[in-house]
Amino acid sequence: IDDPDVDAYAPDSPERGVNHAFPLVSIVMGSKTDLPVMQKAADVLDEFAIPYEMLIVSAHRTPDRLYAFAQGAEARGVRVIVAGAGGAAHLPGMVAAMSALPVIGVPVKTTALSGVDSLYSIVQMPRGIPVACVAIDNGMNGGLLAARMVGNSGAMSSWMQNQSESVALDPRK
C-alpha cells in the first residue's frame, strides 16, 4: 500500500517531521477518533514545554507508515513514544517491536467492550517486548509519564505540589 506520508518520517527528510521538526516525544494514535483522549497527553507536554509531535499511525490501516515511523523515530531524536489505540490495539506493541524507544500505551475506550479489549491488547505483551500502559482513556497520565521520562524532575515536583494544594481538605468546599 503506497503511503505518501511515510517520507516525512525519514531522518534525512528536508521536511523533518509532520508537525514538529525536533520532537522529544511522539504521540501517535490509531485513528482521528482517538484525538480527544490523546490531546490530553499533548496538553500535559505543552504545560511542561516539552516538544512533541502528534500523528495518526494505524497498525492496520497504514502499515507502511507504522513501519517508517517506528524505524525512524529514534534517529529523528524522539526519546519516548506515547501510543493510543482502541479495540484490537496493536499499535503500541508493534511500535515497541520495531523501535528500542520506551513506549507508553494508552488504551482508548471502545463502545462494544468499554476499552477492556484495548487494555488487554496493550498490556498483554509477550516477554521481551515491554510496553508501559496507563489506565483506559487516561491520555493525561500518558503525557505525565512521558514528561517524567524526558523532562526535569523539579518541574514535575512543582506540578505535583500544585496538584496537592488544589485538593481541599473539606469535601464540601
Residues near ligand RP5 (CB under 6 A) are 30-31, 33-34, 58, 85-87, 108
Please report how close the Cβ of residue 52 comes to ligand RP5 at its closest, in angstroms.
Answer: 18
**In whole angstroms, how far apart are CA 146 and each of 24, 80, 142, 168?**
9, 6, 6, 28
Please report how close the Cβ of residue 16 comes to ligand RP5 at its closest, in angstroms.
Answer: 26
Q: Which is nearer to ligand RP5, 17 or 86 (CB)?
A: 86
Environment class of residue 137 by beta-carbon count within 10 Å: exposed (0-12), middle (13-18) or buried (19+)?
A: buried
Residue type, 50: I
Please report how close the Cβ of residue 81 comes to ligand RP5 at its closest, in angstroms.
Answer: 15
Q: Which is nearer to ligand RP5, 17 or 105 (CB)?
A: 105
Please report how close the Cβ of residue 148 comes to ligand RP5 at its closest, in angstroms.
Answer: 24
Q: Which is nearer to ligand RP5, 8 or 37 (CB)?
A: 37
Place of cell 523539579: 154
Residue type, 67: Y
